Chains A and B, each alone.
Chain A
Amino acid sequence: MDETLTPLQRLFLAFVAFFAVLFNRRFAEEVHALRARERAALPPGAAAPKPPDHAESLQIIALLQRDGRLLDFLEESLEGFSDSEIGAAARTVHAGCKKALGAYLQLEPVLHEPEGASVTIASGFDPAAVRLTGNVVGQPPFKGALRHHGWRAARTSFPPLPAHDPRILAPAEVEL
């Protein structure tokens, strides 16, 4: 509803509504349903316990560690390892992280033209989706060469947040 009610109109409405709720069963039921909807739409922090800070971001790091050992790889010093040893580890990380990405994300390029092709950026483009570089002057449409096609998550299906402390990114393993 676009029109805003004045305080006087609202006072009148409250008066009418009081009797309508009292004497009109359907009206009362609708008001009841409206109030229930309002309660449900409240920010989650009000009713449900608030998830710990950054739980969703932490979950993604945990998934990449679980499937691809990403944290182990990044936290290990490369000092003293040959390129072939690093390469072998990179294969493990690559295969695992790719599997995780494939399971939870469907990727597509932002621009579908091959890289290097000349593209036209129409006016009203989303500056978050297309970054202009180089000789950026004048008015759109802009013409230029596509240097990176960008990535967009076409579909995401992350698993539900774990019930445990999200700050645990990988459990300690103890063999009995």
Chain B
Amino acid sequence: MTGGAAFAIGIDLGTTNSALAYLPLGEERAAPEVLPIPQLVHAGEVADRLLLPSYLYLPHPAEMAGEALRLPWAPPGDVPREVVGELGRAQGALTPIRLVSSAKSWLCHPTLDRRAASLPVGSPAEVPRISPLDASARYLAHLRAAWNAEVAKGDPALVLERQAVTLTVPASFDAVARELTVEAARHAGLHDPVLLEEPQAALYAWVEAMGDGWRKLVQVGDLILVVDVGGGTTDFSLIAVVDRDGELGLERVAVGDHILLGGDNMDLALAHRLQQKLADTGKTIDRWQLLALTHGARQAKEQLFADRAKMSIPVTVPGRGSSLMGGALRVELTRGELGSTLVDGFLPRVEVTARPAAQRRAALTTLGLPYASDPAITRQLAAFLSRQREALDASTAPVPKLSGKAFLHPTALLFNGGVMKAAELKERVREVVAGWVAAEGGEPPRELPGVDLDLAVAKGAATYGRVRSGRGIRIRGGTARAYYVGVETAAPAVPGMAPPVEALCVAPMGMEEGTRAELPSRELGLVVGEPARFRFFASSLRHDDRVGSVVEREAELEELAPIETTLPAASGEAGQVVPVSLRAHVTEIGTLELEAADEKGRAWKVEFNLRAAEQPSA
């Protein structure tokens, strides 16, 4: 791909924080390094941070002097009207109507038109709005500008757009969200970013950090569970260690759903606990004080997790006015409260048969992110391992010996995400999984050590850039989902009933990059000159569907944005029905492309249609 790139770049475009790591491709054993990212930390003050908070603040014209928002690389003259990074997050916490946050979660929102300017949600009309796609592009553009100013320094061969860039996405991102991520990168001037699933990136970082030693730490038959709890999302993946021609190989066998639940929820939960404690003594607090309380609770949490001898930590909310002591509120966070709120609240000891409380239906909620309605990460994990076990029952995937009776038995755990710095949280996950496995007579899983929890994804993505150039082990697995097109079945019309739809598999699970799948016989008739729209579905469970397999009950599948194509007039007379077949192509960079081809071999691109999705009235 990017010929002559000097560096492999890994970009972790996170829900709450982003990071960029790099390694020189010319050096055999270079370890990935993290780029300190210059950003506004206060008005008029730029400082380096290893993480770029993924927040965009849209200031009021009278609010902050434009010059105070100038970044070192900004050309003189135009005055910036947006703030990305630490200052954006801090300012937005006080004025949330002007803050764009969690753009990445909006990017995989099932019903929103993600190219339409819709963020910040629910703000007054005069606040400028941008789309989730543009917000993601802004963060990437900031990283690009930072790299070009700090590293390239005017050398056109070193600019970011000419390096081998890998961009990470949650394993739970479907084809549409992946496509949009690439589109955002292109808006930011990065033309061919390669996509990589975040849990895989964490494992690449682990392999890199262990050097050749990793081959001694795992063996054929191991099943590695990657538990990635970030600031805003939780992501699970299972990666099997397999025998590949006598060598150890890694194969990703399953990914979980997109769970909007993470470290920020934990800090907020602690703050609400303390807020309740204050309320019990008759003290109410406002938004500013709740922020200060959240901040204080986070620090107290870190101190309690770091020092097991401490039984409680005082948290002070200073007075907001100039009276620091007079307006101050004081409350204690005890070890018991920490345990019951975080460890038992988010990681309760549950049976493997436990399932998360049902997701609220989208129709009942106003326009908002589909946050997980059950905060118990262990219940989400139980559901993941059990559902994947059922799915792999009759499958050819390489895990039969490990599969266990009721759920998949992981033999090793790899943690990722800043939340997992707390040993007690890691220990609880390990204990719960070990309990489930022991009940079916299995060995407890061991923890794979030694990954930098905040920066592993960026570092692993940079390592992947080198792997793609042919050095180092590559995790296989291909696409994490199978994709289906909804086709109306021929059935007698019944008033009030939509004709039944069956789902036709167009791209099976596990398609590797650079491969194609063609529907052999089933043909669809398209009308020349008229847009043809099909419902589009995905499944992360149906391992064995092949191209052309039919799923009669489309309710088993996840519905995505519909796909659409229009045959141009050149393909025949207007109104004429042309028989076409669909073919799927997984590109080298990891996106899914669909084409409709007629019998003469002419092909037209089939697009994801986001606009057709139901638009909530905001």
* Shortest distance between the CB of A96 and any CB in chain B (Å): 9
A91 on the B face (CB < 8 A): yes
Size band of the interface chain A makes with B: 20 to 34
Could you tell me which residues of chain B, from 299 to 334, have a CB within 8 Å of some CB in chain A?
299, 314, 316, 318-320, 322-326, 328, 330
For B43, list chain A residues within 8 Å (CB).
Answer: 162
Closest to A75 in B: B322
Size band of the interface chain B makes with A: 20 to 34
For A164, list chain B residues within 8 Å (CB).
Answer: 65, 68
- A66-B42, A85-B328, A103-B47 given as contacts; is B68 within 8 A of A162 (CB)? yes
Could you tell me which residues of chain B, from 268 to 311, have a CB within 8 Å of some CB in chain A?
299
Verify A91–B328 contact, CB threshold 8 A.
no
A42 on the B face (CB < 8 A): no
Verify B316–A88 contact, CB threshold 8 A.
yes
Verify A163–B330 contact, CB threshold 8 A.
no
B558 on the A face (CB < 8 A): no
Verify A89–B328 contact, CB threshold 8 A.
yes
Could you tell me which residues of chain A, from 151 to 176, have a CB within 8 Å of some CB in chain B?
159-160, 162-164, 173
In Å, the complex CA distance between A72 and B318 comes to 10
A81 on the B face (CB < 8 A): yes
* Shortest distance between the CB of A162 and any CB in chain B (Å): 5
Name the contact of A159 in the complex, choosing from B44, B65, B67, B328 (C-beta under 8 A): B44
- A72-B322, A76-B325 given as contacts; is B316 within 8 A of A160 (CB)? no
Name the contact of B323 in the complex, choosing from A76, A103, A163 (C-beta under 8 A): A76
Name the contact of B324 in the complex, choosing from A66, A69, A173 (C-beta under 8 A): A69
Verify B44–A76 contact, CB threshold 8 A.
no
B440 on the A face (CB < 8 A): no
In Å, the complex CA distance between A69 and B316 comes to 13
For B427, list chain A residues within 8 Å (CB).
Answer: none
Verify A163–B316 contact, CB threshold 8 A.
no
Name the contact of A89 in the complex, choosing from B42, B320, B325 (C-beta under 8 A): B325
In Å, the complex CA distance between A91 and B314 comes to 10
For B316, list chain A residues within 8 Å (CB).
Answer: 88-89, 91-92
A129 on the B face (CB < 8 A): no
In Å, the complex CA distance between A126 and B45 comes to 35
For B67, list chain A residues within 8 Å (CB).
Answer: 163
Name the contact of B318 in the complex, choosing from A69, A103, A163 (C-beta under 8 A): A69
For B330, list chain A residues within 8 Å (CB).
Answer: 84-85, 88
A86 on the B face (CB < 8 A): yes
In Å, the complex CA distance between A50 and B523 comes to 79
Verify A89–B324 contact, CB threshold 8 A.
yes
Verify B314–A162 contact, CB threshold 8 A.
no
Binary flags per residue of B45-59, CB closer than 8 Å to A gives 1, else 0: 111000000000000
DSSP class of B's interface residues: helix, strand, loop or mixed?
loop
In Å, the complex CA distance between A95 and B315 comes to 12
For B325, list chain A residues within 8 Å (CB).
Answer: 73, 76, 78, 81, 85-86, 88-89
Verify A88–B45 contact, CB threshold 8 A.
no
* Shortest distance between the CB of B614 and any CB in chain A (Å): 34
Closest to B46 in A: A159
* Shortest distance between the CB of B88 and any CB in chain A (Å): 17
Closest to A173 in B: B320
Closest to A164 in B: B65
In Å, the complex CA distance between A78 and B320 comes to 17
In Å, the complex CA distance between A92 and B318 comes to 7
For B328, list chain A residues within 8 Å (CB).
Answer: 85, 88-89, 92
For A88, list chain B residues within 8 Å (CB).
Answer: 314, 316, 325, 328, 330
Verify B324–A163 contact, CB threshold 8 A.
no
Binary flags per residue of A67-84, CB closer than 8 Å to B gives 1, else 0: 001011101101001001
* Shortest distance between the CB of A167 and any CB in chain B (Å): 16
In Å, the complex CA distance between A91 and B316 comes to 8
* Shortest distance between the CB of B285 and any CB in chain A (Å): 14
* Shortest distance between the CB of A172 and any CB in chain B (Å): 10
In Å, the complex CA distance between A173 and B318 comes to 15
Binary flags per residue of B418-433, CB closer than 8 Å to A gives 1, else 0: 0000000000000000
* Shortest distance between the CB of B54 and any CB in chain A (Å): 22
In Å, the complex CA distance between A69 and B322 comes to 9
Verify B324–A162 contact, CB threshold 8 A.
no
Verify B323–A159 contact, CB threshold 8 A.
no
For B326, list chain A residues within 8 Å (CB).
Answer: 76, 81
For A173, list chain B residues within 8 Å (CB).
Answer: 320
Verify B47–A89 contact, CB threshold 8 A.
no
For A69, list chain B residues within 8 Å (CB).
Answer: 318, 324
Could you tell me which residues of chain A, from 75 to 116, have a CB within 8 Å of some CB in chain B?
75-76, 78, 81, 84-86, 88-89, 91-93, 95, 103
* Shortest distance between the CB of A86 and any CB in chain B (Å): 6
In Å, the complex CA distance between A36 and B299 comes to 54
* Shortest distance between the CB of A48 and any CB in chain B (Å): 16
Closest to B299 in A: A95
Closest to B319 in A: A72
In Å, the complex CA distance between A160 and B47 comes to 11
For A93, list chain B residues within 8 Å (CB).
Answer: 324
For A71, list chain B residues within 8 Å (CB).
Answer: 322
Verify B45–A163 contact, CB threshold 8 A.
no
**Which of A73, A92, A159, A160 counts the most B-chain CB atoms under 10 A from its CB?**
A92
In Å, the complex CA distance between A73 and B325 comes to 8
Verify B322–A162 contact, CB threshold 8 A.
no
Name 10 interchain pairs, CB-CB below 8 A, sorted by A.
A72-B318, A84-B330, A88-B316, A88-B325, A89-B318, A89-B325, A89-B328, A92-B316, A92-B328, A163-B65
**A66-B42, A76-B325 given; 8 more Cβ-contact pairs under 8 Å:** A81-B326, A84-B330, A85-B325, A85-B328, A88-B314, A92-B318, A95-B299, A160-B44
In order of increasing CB-CB distance, the 10 nearest A-B pairs are A159-B45, A72-B324, A88-B316, A89-B325, A92-B318, A88-B330, A162-B44, A72-B322, A81-B325, A89-B324
Q: Which residues of B contact A (CB under 8 A)?
A: 42-47, 65, 67-68, 299, 314, 316, 318-320, 322-326, 328, 330
